[in-house]
Structure 1
Amino acid sequence: MRIALLARVHLGTLAVLFVLALSACLLVAGLPRAMQASYDEALRRSLAAAPAWQADLTVSVESRSPEEDLHERGQFDLRDRRWHEILPAALRPLVTGAGHMSAKTTLTPVTGTAGQTYINLGWLSDAAQRVDWVQGRAPGRPSTMRYEGATIPVFEVGVAEDAQREMGLQVGQQKMLGENDYVAVKIVGVFKARNPADRYWSHNLEILQVTKIQPPGALDFEKHTTTLISDEGLTALSSEGRNLSYHWILPIDPRGASALAVPDLDAAVAEFGRVAALQSTGSPYHLDTGLPKLLADFRAALGTAQTVMYLVLGGLLAVALGVIALAVLLLTDRLDHTLTVARARGGSLRQVAGAAATVTGIAVMPAGLAGYGLSFLVPGPVLPIVHLGPAVVVLVAIGFAAARVARSHRTPLHERRDDVAAGRVSARRITLEVLVVALALAGAYLLRARGLAGGDPFLLLVPVGLTLAAALITLRCYPYPLRLFVRLAARGRAAVPFLGLTRAARARSASVLPVLILLPALGVSVFAAVISDGIASTQQLAAWQQVGAPIKVTSEVEIPAATISQVRGLAGVEQVVTAQTGRVQVGYGAENAEAIAVDVAQWRRILDGATVSLPALSDGALVSPELRGRGTFEIGWQSRVRLATRGVIDSVPGFYTEGKFMVVPLSVLTRPAVNTLLIKGDVSPDALARLIPSASVKSQERALSAIRDDPLTRTVRWALVVVTVALGSYALVAVVLSLVVGAAERARAVSFLRTLGLSDRQAQRLTVLEILPMILLTALVGLGLGLFLPYALGPGVDLASYAGGLPVGGYSLDLLIPLALAAGLAAVAVLGAYAHTAISRRRNLGAVLRVGDLT
């Protein structure tokens, strides 16, 4: 059989098949790479945004005897090398940079301060590269002195600028530390960090800042600071009489993180902690890190992203394979006459099936290779699906072509009864279809009733089952309403409605089955559109709840009235609402609550048009659920104030979401000390930050951008848009191919009718009436399925990670995109019908009547 001639004769069909296979292979290989790259970027951002003390690995040990003390840098270096040697393989890509080491004392009181002031001693292995000395000099070698009849060490130390200011420490001062075992410190310098924002200082914040602690029941604060000593100071630093611990920090480099390695990292961290503990010869070494918690949070968000992606990509692959199968069906129909002749002349079944597979392979194999190659232009790791996806597409196309031809040409000169409208369906098939529908409905009910456990296969099986059930019900039930319309049309005098609807109602299952590709295409695309819209609206709500106003300015100290006047005078400022926040005493006991005093009416005007709001309040208080049921109560805030409960609110936008809180009118305060501004207008947050340096400025627009710019969030929404467009395109192609697949039989019937006097206009209406009912019915079922899936899968898909932490639910029925898809399919069907009629009109009726007219 001349394969090259067959390919040249059917070049147009092969070109369509090539384009479809190319797009499918590119999507199935490229989209997973892009998504995995975004997963990696999300993990890296998560690790980079976390405090270093939480992400890094810190090996610590408490020295409990002089024998366990370390007095030389070499002793620290030796252990540091050991920690790197025993790192599990999964952690090595993350721990690539050089870390640092430290020795610190804790709870070292200043003698004679009754435990109110603490000056600890600290050594950093890289202090010389991290700080600049702004007064005095760097510490040097320690000395000794006599104190109360004993010789004690005198450490030269440096203090941070914050400690100098908060604790009144000066260069040249000498302080005695301890209550029993004494040590002296001499302040020889004041330092500041070269880069205070460096993640490094997350591990050593107590060195840069004074820590204030209010003990339970006490009115005054304890003040703690840690000073710096030199390398020589290690020789005199001992655990005798004080709390001394050593630390080795192994920093995590986010650039080496991979989302694919996350499942192995938890076990690796636990293994590293276990092996590090085995290195102990005295006090046990222990691993301190928050990395497992970070990975668990990321894994939860990643799991939801992957679930949504599996759903939409699975639907995309199924639809793409279905459309390719339609194109193969068209090709094998075009080859049918040639293969029938070859079979009648003695060709074996293997030869004719091989010929169809070879012709199909001429189109799909180069397309598969091209799509596979183009996928490498997409940045991201190469996953197994990148290799398997194109291979599956190619094998399915070739296998379907061979199988269909082999089934059709089991015997030579196969004949088909075109005058039979429908065959009897076997009891076995009916039972199987009823079982599929029952299982799909049961799965959807169970998913709604109990939610989804981690790793449960229901999430992937339920959408597939629902789609298949909808397709089977549509396939079996669509003739019955059409037959009702046929009976109505039969009562009329016009023949075209009766003939068109009769042909549509009597269409065999095999002829309408290709159209059912529209079900998953429309279902998944509408599902993706609804999910994307739900995420977008919830993101808006989350941004408003985070800020509570277009712009919010909060300060720890009172904002002067003159500054507020300047804010009101800034260009673009439309309205400024002043407020005071604070912690108030509820009643006369120890119960406290968070409170905001504000003019609620003005705040409500600022929130006009926003997705959040507050109840009206003129007097009394709006309280949280934990404060409900108290009627009139009293608070202590500047003075004692009696308030009546006017309502219960679950949250205060921009301020409180849980616990005990209340909203009161600003007028209840004797003298409001404004520390919060709620601003409406087109003004730069940076300008406000410059005007009020002590304040924190947040804007709703920036909060929304931060939510949307998260890599996982951006990937989910981007993928949903791509899949929606791709599925919509495939659905349109499916309609066109469905028209072309049945074109020959339809043209023959119309030609027969034209000999009986059917006009061109009547032929067009007849074709439309034959095609459009199934398209419209399938589009409506697919539309309904897509709108139903978000509600069916609601308990199983937690999209809060992509919507600012708020649960995505209560999907609004925005039918613009779904109806546009359904209307587009119907329009394409109608245009295709008119185009088909126009083409058929050019045919010679005599030739049409002779083709296949064997009696």
Structure 2
Amino acid sequence: MRIPRLARVHLGPMAVLFVLALTACVLVAGLPRVTQGAFDQALRRALTGAPAVQADLAVTVESRSSQEDLHERAQFDTRDRLWHKLLPATLRPLVAPGGHMSAKTTLTPVTGSHGGRYLNLGWLSDADRRVDWVQGRVPGAPATMRYEGEPIPLIEVGVVAEAAAKMGLRPGRTVVLGENDQVAVKIVGLFEAKDPGDRYWSHNTDILHYTEIQPPNGGDMEVHTTTLMSDAGLTALSGAGRNLTYRWILPVNGAAASAQDTVGLGAAVADFGRLVTLQSTGTPYHLETGLPKLLGDFLAALATAQTVMYLVLGGLLAVVLGVIVLAVRLLTDRMDHALTVARARGGSLRQVAGTAAALTGLAVAPAALAGYALSYLVPGPVVPIVHLGPVLVVVASAGFAAARPAVTHRTPLHERRDDVVATRPSARRVTLEVLVVVLALGGAYLLRARGPAASAGQDPFLLVVPVTLTLAAAVITLRCYPYPLRLLVRLTARGRAAVPFLGLTRAARARSGSVLPVLILLPALAVSVFAAVISDGIAGTQRLASWEQAGAPIRITSPMEIPAAQVERVRGAAGVDRVLLAQTGRVQLGYGAERAEALAVDVGQWRELLGDAPVGLPPLSDGVLVSPELRGRGTLEIGWQSRLRLATRGVIDSVPGFYTQGKFLVVPLSVQARPYVNTLLVSGDASPAALRRLVPQATVVSQAETLAAIQDDPLTSTVRWTLLVVTVALAGYALVAIVLALVVGAAERARAVSFLRTLGLSERQAQRLTVLEILPMIIITALAGLGLGLLLPAALGPGVDLSSYAGGLPVGDYALDLLTPSVLAAGLAAVAVLGAYTHTAIGRRRALGAVLRLGDLS
């Protein structure tokens, strides 16, 4: 048969097939690239946003004797090259060139300070590129001096200006360190970091800052800092008399990370750690890194994101293929007469099937190629589905186009019984359908009972259950839809009007072949409603999480008392409506060592300030609200500014913006003799940046900024964006499916209406008859799809942990929002009615005799 001539004759169905295949391939090949790109972006943000001391690889070793000392930079460089050589192939692209090396002592006391001051010795391989000397000079080579009649090393060092002011380490001063094996250091200069915000300094915070530590037994605070020496100073640095540690930092380049390699990275880090340990000759080398923990947290969030993506994208692919199959069926139906004639004239079954497949491929293959090419305009890495998706569309389309004529034209001049409207299903088919339903219900129950998978990664059980639920809903809908229609037929049979009886009778007696195309609506609606409900659940929980973290529209907390003048400036700031004073602190419970976190605030005013926020506390005028760990203690004896005896008025699980676990309590601010205000709760639309300038020593947390930070996460935004795109796409494909279903059955429907019109059926009655024939199945399928879509979040919720996308709170409150289902159902019904009226309007242009003769030939 001549394919080009057939293509010209059936140009309309081929154009529809081309457009459907093009859009399908763009979606199937483009969306995975977007999602994978977001996964990569999320991993890179997790690695670059984490402190370098947690993300980088650090090889450490302690020097415990003079034989293990490293006195020259060349010795450090040799080992640095060895560590890079030992890196597994998977890790090498992730490790950035450069890095640095260091040598530091710890717990080096200032002689005579009785453990109150510690001045550690430090060396950085790249200090010249990291610090500016603001006073004095760069340290030089070490020398010796006499101390208590004995010569000791004298090392020239520099100190960060912050620590020098705190510890009185002015340039020119000499300090003796150690209690028995003394060494002297001479302060020759003060330095500051060139870029204090560089992630590099998280490895060396002890050099950039001083720290104060409270001793376990109480007493005065200990002050610690680390000095900076020159390369020459290494010759006087030994682990024989002090705690000396060498470090080689291999920086991780988060921008080079790929989510596809995450699983292998964890194993590669473990292998590298083993290789490092094997290089030990004396004191063992160790690999210190928080990279496995970062990767593990990311994998947990990624597994959930991938599961949700696979569910919605898999549903989209199934619906897309179903709609394309409908379009292929339309094309093969239009070709049926030509194929029948060819078969009757001696054409082989292979020729008939090959002709249909070739004509379908002529429309689908160029569309798939164009869609595949357009997908490369979408940013993101190429994953296997990008290549396989268009191929699957072409194979499925051509395969169905070949299989359907092959089955239909098994024998020449095939005929079918139009008077047979239903057949009794076989016992094997009934058993299989019952098995599908039982497995779906059992799988949903087991998923709810089991909860989230214990290990990270894809959960096959979670991916199979939605498929079985969809199949079960389709089987139940297909089997049960005639029964309510037959009941309506019996009711309409008692009336005098013929149109309702005829329309509903034709709908109830529709063949399964004509019903199956409409069942494409079921997964389309189920997945789209599921996506909409999940998206709404995430959005609501994100808002709740932002209020839980902020506790107020704006919360200002300070480590010290906020002066009254600053409070008044905050009250007068632009956009501030109300300021509520509060005090936080750690209080004594009873007279023992037990402690608890406490918040003193006017709870009634706080409740008013929160307004309609989804968080709050129960009323409290006197007494105390306690955490679950303090439940059942009755009246509490609290030591804060004074001794307080307060009766327990309630138990609260958390205090929004302050405490979520442990021992905590809330008391009225009025119980304090003089409130030590260190917290302000602010309402209004004031600028957080402006408030930070007014209270520079405080931390300002805004509910709006917290919510934006939660929503701005790449994984979170991608999940919600993909759910929105899939919802819109599935709604569009559902409408296309209705239109195609109308067109596929147009010839048979026109023949039946034409027969009835010869018996006196008017055009208006013909339109009503067509609507009543089509609309019931659409409504029933739409209700089944909507019900399944609303059921899936409840069925899958316990197995899908979406807390990573909702600020750490579990997403479980899927409120029943009927807006989206109503819009979808109304849109489908409107398209069905419009299609029915359009169909009858087109049918009016044909002469009844021509339609009937055409029907007689078919």
Same fold (TM over 0.5): yes
Partner amino acid for 1:345? R
- Measure, in 1, the Cα distance between the counterparts of 2:432 and 2:280: 65
Q: 1:736-794 deviations in whole A, cap 9, x for unaligned?
A: 10111100000000000000000011001100110000000000000000000000001
Deviation at 1:612, TM superposition (A): 0.8
- Measure, in 2, the Cα distance between the counterparts of 1:669 and 1:377: 64
In the alignment, which residue of structure 2 is the partner of 1:263?
Answer: 263
Residue of 726, 743, 747 corresponding to 2:746: 743
In the alignment, which residue of structure 2 is the partner of 1:445?
Answer: 445
In the alignment, which residue of structure 1 is the partner of 2:3?
Answer: 3
Q: Is the Cα contact below 8 Å between 2:731 and 2:824 reproduced in 1?
A: yes
Q: Is the Cα contact below 8 Å between 1:157 and 1:188 reproduced in 2?
A: yes
In the alignment, which residue of structure 2 is the partner of 1:273?
Answer: 273
In the alignment, which residue of structure 2 is the partner of 1:530?
Answer: 533
- Measure, in 1, the Cα distance between the counterparts of 2:290 and 2:150: 44
In the alignment, which residue of structure 2 is the partner of 1:288?
Answer: 288
In the alignment, which residue of structure 2 is the partner of 1:686?
Answer: 689
- Measure, in 1, the Cα distance between the counterparts of 2:9 and 2:424: 38
In the alignment, which residue of structure 2 is the partner of 1:362?
Answer: 362
Which structure 2 residues correspond to residues 318-467 of structure 1 after superposition, within 5 A? Answer: 318-453=318-453, 454=455, 455-467=458-470
3-state SS in 1 of match to 2:617: coil
- Measure, in 1, the Cα distance between the counterparts of 2:243 and 2:570: 51
Partner amino acid for 1:10? H
- Measure, in 1, the Cα distance between the counterparts of 2:90 and 2:225: 37
- Measure, in 1, the Cα distance between the counterparts of 2:387 and 2:663: 56
- Measure, in 2, the Cα distance between the counterparts of 1:217 and 1:415: 98
- Measure, in 1, the Cα distance between the counterparts of 2:492 and 2:690: 73
In the alignment, which residue of structure 1 is the partner of 2:188?
Answer: 188
Residue 602 (str. 1) matches residue 609 (str. 2): no
The count of residues paired between Structure 1 and Structure 2 equals 855
- Measure, in 2, the Cα distance between the counterparts of 1:763 and 1:219: 97
- Measure, in 2, the Cα distance between the counterparts of 1:167 and 1:667: 41
- Measure, in 2, the Cα distance between the counterparts of 1:24 and 1:389: 9
Q: Is the Cα contact below 8 Å between 1:549 and 1:678 reproduced in 2?
A: yes
Structure 2 unmatched ranges of 5 or more: none
Deviation at 1:148, TM superposition (A): 2.6
- Measure, in 2, the Cα distance between the counterparts of 1:340 and 1:590: 94
3-state SS in 2 of match to 1:79: helix
Q: Is the Cα contact below 8 Å between 1:56 and 1:289 reproduced in 2?
A: yes
In the alignment, which residue of structure 2 is the partner of 1:777?
Answer: 780
* Cα distance change on mapping 1:367 and 1:9 into 2, 3 Å: same
Partner amino acid for 2:72? E
Partner amino acid for 2:357? A
Q: Is the Cα contact below 8 Å between 1:651 and 1:658 reproduced in 2?
A: yes
Of 87-96 and 447-456, more deviation after overlay is shown by: 447-456
- Measure, in 1, the Cα distance between the counterparts of 2:305 and 2:801: 9
- Measure, in 2, the Cα distance between the counterparts of 1:361 and 1:807: 48
- Measure, in 2, the Cα distance between the counterparts of 1:375 and 1:216: 62
Of 219-228 and 845-854, more deviation after overlay is shown by: 845-854
Residue 158 (str. 1) matches residue 161 (str. 2): no
- Measure, in 2, the Cα distance between the counterparts of 1:671 and 1:134: 44
Deviation at 1:131, TM superposition (A): 1.0
In the alignment, which residue of structure 1 is the partner of 2:142?
Answer: 142
In the alignment, which residue of structure 2 is the partner of 1:818?
Answer: 821
Q: Is the Cα contact below 8 Å between 1:452 and 1:458 reproduced in 2?
A: no
Partner amino acid for 1:469? A
Residue 19 (str. 1) matches residue 22 (str. 2): no
In the alignment, which residue of structure 2 is the partner of 1:470?
Answer: 473
Deviation at 1:149, TM superposition (A): 3.2
Deviation at 1:277, TM superposition (A): 1.4
Residue of 694, 702, 705 corresponding to 1:702: 705
In the alignment, which residue of structure 2 is the partner of 1:69?
Answer: 69
* Cα distance change on mapping 1:37 and 1:657 into 2, 3 Å: same
- Measure, in 2, the Cα distance between the counterparts of 1:854 and 1:525: 42
- Measure, in 1, the Cα distance between the counterparts of 2:468 and 2:452: 16
In the alignment, which residue of structure 1 is the partner of 2:173?
Answer: 173
3-state SS in 1 of match to 2:379: coil
- Measure, in 2, the Cα distance between the counterparts of 1:191 and 1:461: 62
Deviation at 1:452, TM superposition (A): 3.9
Deviation at 1:838, TM superposition (A): 0.6
3-state SS in 2 of match to 1:24: helix
In the alignment, which residue of structure 1 is the partner of 2:519?
Answer: 516
In the alignment, which residue of structure 2 is the partner of 1:643?
Answer: 646
Q: Is the Cα contact below 8 Å between 2:625 and 2:650 reproduced in 1?
A: yes
Q: Is the Cα contact below 8 Å between 2:452 and 2:801 reproduced in 1?
A: no
- Measure, in 2, the Cα distance between the counterparts of 1:50 and 1:291: 10
3-state SS in 2 of match to 1:113: coil
Deviation at 1:620, TM superposition (A): 1.0
3-state SS in 1 of match to 2:579: strand
In the alignment, which residue of structure 2 is the partner of 1:250?
Answer: 250
Q: TM-score of the superposition, structure 2-length normalised?
A: 0.99
3-state SS in 2 of match to 1:793: helix
Q: 1:603-648 deviations in whole A, cap 9, x for unaligned?
A: 1111001111111111111111111111111111111111111111
Of 773-782 and 205-214, more deviation after overlay is shown by: 205-214
Deviation at 1:219, TM superposition (A): 2.6
Partner amino acid for 1:584? V
Q: Is the Cα contact below 8 Å between 1:600 and 1:617 reproduced in 2?
A: yes
Partner amino acid for 2:815? S
Q: Is the Cα contact below 8 Å between 1:522 and 1:779 reproduced in 2?
A: yes
Residue 757 (str. 1) matches residue 763 (str. 2): no
Partner amino acid for 1:265? L
Deviation at 1:599, TM superposition (A): 1.1
Q: TM-score of the superposition, structure 1-length normalised?
A: 0.99
- Measure, in 2, the Cα distance between the counterparts of 1:218 and 1:359: 87
Partner amino acid for 2:850? A
Residue 809 (str. 1) matches residue 841 (str. 2): no
Q: 1:50-87 deviations in whole A, cap 9, x for unaligned?
A: 11100000000001110110111111111111111111
Of 159-168 and 404-413, more deviation after overlay is shown by: 159-168
Residue 546 (str. 1) matches residue 583 (str. 2): no
Q: Is the Cα contact below 8 Å between 1:452 and 1:459 reproduced in 2?
A: no
Q: Is the Cα contact below 8 Å between 2:751 and 2:855 reproduced in 1?
A: no
3-state SS in 2 of match to 1:187: strand
Q: Is the Cα contact below 8 Å between 2:524 and 2:734 reproduced in 1?
A: yes
- Measure, in 2, the Cα distance between the counterparts of 1:142 and 1:854: 109
In the alignment, which residue of structure 2 is the partner of 1:664?
Answer: 667
In the alignment, which residue of structure 1 is the partner of 2:52?
Answer: 52
- Measure, in 2, the Cα distance between the counterparts of 1:699 and 1:854: 75
In the alignment, which residue of structure 1 is the partner of 2:656?
Answer: 653
3-state SS in 2 of match to 1:575: strand
Q: Is the Cα contact below 8 Å between 2:91 and 2:268 reproduced in 1?
A: yes
How much identity, in percent, do the aligned residues show?
75
Which structure 2 residues correspond to residues 107-122 of structure 1 after superposition, within 5 A? Answer: 107-122=107-122
In the alignment, which residue of structure 2 is the partner of 1:105?
Answer: 105
Partner amino acid for 2:7? A
Of 845-854 and 191-200, more deviation after overlay is shown by: 845-854
After TM superposition, which residue ranges in structure 1, 4 or more long, deviate above 6 angstroms?
Answer: none
3-state SS in 2 of match to 1:851: helix
Deviation at 1:250, TM superposition (A): 0.5
- Measure, in 1, the Cα distance between the counterparts of 2:131 and 2:585: 36
- Measure, in 2, the Cα distance between the counterparts of 1:190 and 1:619: 55
In the alignment, which residue of structure 2 is the partner of 1:712?
Answer: 715
- Measure, in 2, the Cα distance between the counterparts of 1:274 and 1:439: 46
- Measure, in 2, the Cα distance between the counterparts of 1:552 and 1:59: 41
Deviation at 1:854, TM superposition (A): 6.0
3-state SS in 2 of match to 1:768: helix
Deviation at 1:852, TM superposition (A): 3.6
- Measure, in 2, the Cα distance between the counterparts of 1:410 and 1:588: 94
Q: Is the Cα contact below 8 Å between 2:26 and 2:375 reproduced in 1?
A: yes
Q: 1:641-666 deviations in whole A, cap 9, x for unaligned?
A: 11111111111101100001111111
- Measure, in 2, the Cα distance between the counterparts of 1:584 and 1:452: 39
3-state SS in 2 of match to 1:377: coil
